[in-house]
Amino acid sequence: MIRQGEWKYVYRSNGFNELYHVVDDPDENVNRIEERKCRQVVRRLHRRLREHLVQTKEPYLDKVPQDAFA
């Protein structure tokens, strides 16, 4: 899970990823992961999540694909 600004992204290895606009939806009721207009946000947050996993040498990094839509 990573949060940046107005967005919260949750990556799950089972494919049930989540994206929330926490300002407009603080209770996280509307998962926007499938919205085409949010694809760039998902890609950016996924990339940042991977960067964090690399920096912290997480052992499960190999389970997180390079691309959010892989």
The per-residue pLDDT for range 13-29, each reduced to its tens digit, is: 888 999 999 999 999 99
What pLDDT shows up at residue 33? 97
| Domain assignment of residue 24, yes or no | yes
The Cα–Cα gap between 66 and 54 comes to 12
Model confidence, pTM: 0.90
- Cβ neighbour number for residue 10 with a 10 Å cutoff: 17
Quick check: 9 and 49 in contact, CB under 8 A? yes
What pLDDT shows up at residue 60? 84
| Domain assignment of residue 68, yes or no | no
Number of domains in the chain: 1
| Domain assignment of residue 27, yes or no | yes
Say if residue 44 is exposed, middle or buried (CB neighbours under 10 Å; 0-12, 13-18, 19+).
middle
Spell out the residues 6+ positions from residue 41 whose beta carbon is closer than 8 angstroms to its own: 7, 9, 19
**pLDDT tier at 70 (50, 70, 90 boundaries)?**
low
Provide the domain limits for residue 18: 2-63
| Domain assignment of residue 69, yes or no | no
| Domain assignment of residue 70, yes or no | no
| Domain assignment of residue 52, yes or no | yes
